[in-house]
Structure 1
Amino acid sequence: MSLNTYRQLLIVWHSRTGAARQLAEQAEEEALEVLKELGETDQVSIKRLHCDQVQVQDLLDSQAYLFCAPENLGSLSGAMKECLDRLYYEVLDRLNGRPYAGLISAGSDGQGALRQLERICTGWRLELAAPTRIFNFDAQTPEAIQAPKTLSEEQITQAREAGGYLAALLCL
């Protein structure tokens, strides 16, 4: 059953090595496929923005969110954290109940970034639509940490599932 109102999924991303960017791209691609399959392309849109480009109105105009970011030194990347800090108070109590999911690229852990993202989204009173996924690249040396990353087939599938799921939620 489709609503008679226009809806939007906002995918916010930041990446240093390409992993989180690829996660966002794959999620967007599958979200668009799901909308086509459901015949909802006129009612639901997908907007993918680098975290530096996101404005208050982008958050307010969206009914669901996917955050794709790397973990750096046990936290969300500085650029993603700055984005969320910059917008936090302007949208506080204005996004309540909207669904979100997160995709974290990590060298070895990802839990710190996961906790940080979930705390911020809890403060915004967003509803976790699917568990935040951590994509571990087992990078332990400076060279491996800084090297460009390529998603595995399994990681591509998981990123696509997240995007497709959020798009489908907006079609209910």
Structure 2
Amino acid sequence: MKQLAIIWHSMTGGSEALAQAAYDGARRVQGTDVRMLHAAEAGPEHMLSADGYLFLFPENLAAISGGMKSFFDRCYYPCLGALNGRPYAMIVCAGSDGRNAVAQAERIATGWRLRQILPTVIVCTHAQTQAAILAAKIIDVAQLSAAAEMGDQIATGLQMGIY
């Protein structure tokens, strides 16, 4: 059975809601083991045992969130050279832009020699004030549905051997 690891970090709930939607979508696919792992709990063993990945995290200060960066730091060298060609996709929850966090994460994925199978999705919350940035994020239904579809698509591709 193919395994999909959905690895996420969230500060104010937006990335967590997107990860849950992706998980729910992926779980609809029979024959794929889907694991939803908080970045603080995920380690090299999870990366090495999975056949594909979906990374979800917020952009903080124009960078990968600290919790997700810690995950990448812990896993990078133990997994280097062992993940070549495995498929991945990403969703970044950002207040305005998200492109720098995407660029950072894509460089990490390139170092691991992962294969990007879907364009990275940036979900913009338009949080620009201190109060809005710190507030719990509510992700709209269309974006949650798109995350569910992404989870379903990745799980289906793994199960069918496309990825």
Structure 1 moving runs of 4+ over 4 Å: none
How far the C-alpha of 1:10 sits from its partner, in A, is 0.2
CA deviation string 1:52-71 (max 9, x = no partner): 10121111110000000000
1:25-44 map, 5 Å: 25-33=20-28, 35-36=29-30, 40=31, 44=32
CA deviation string 1:52-104 (max 9, x = no partner): 10121111110000000000000000110111011100000100000000000
The match for 1:127 is 115
Query: Which letter maps to 2:21?
Result: Q
Q: Is 2:12 the counterpart of 1:17?
A: yes
Matches of 2:100 and 2:61, distance apart in 1: 9
Q: Is 2:140 the counterpart of 1:152?
A: yes
How far the C-alpha of 1:105 sits from its partner, in A, is 0.2
Query: Which letter maps to 2:80?
Result: L
Query: Which letter maps to 1:7?
Result: K
Q: TM-score, normalised by structure 2?
A: 0.96
Query: Which letter maps to 1:27?
Result: A
The match for 2:49 is 61
The match for 1:113 is 101
Paired residue secondary structure (1:15): coil
Paired residue secondary structure (1:130): coil
Paired residue secondary structure (1:108): coil
How far the C-alpha of 1:15 sits from its partner, in A, is 0.3
Q: Which runs of 5+ in 2 are unaligned?
A: none
1:155-170 map, 5 Å: 155-170=143-158
Aligned residues: 160
Paired residue secondary structure (1:171): helix
Deviates more, 1:149-158 or 1:70-79: 149-158
How far the C-alpha of 1:158 sits from its partner, in A, is 1.4
Q: TM-score, normalised by structure 1?
A: 0.91
Query: Which letter maps to 2:18?
Result: L
Question: Does the CA-based 8 Å contact 2:44-2:74 persist in structure 1?
Answer: no
Larger radius of gyration: 1
Matches of 2:129 and 2:37, distance apart in 1: 30
The match for 2:75 is 87
Amino-acid identity (%) = 43
Matches of 1:32 and 1:134, distance apart in 2: 23
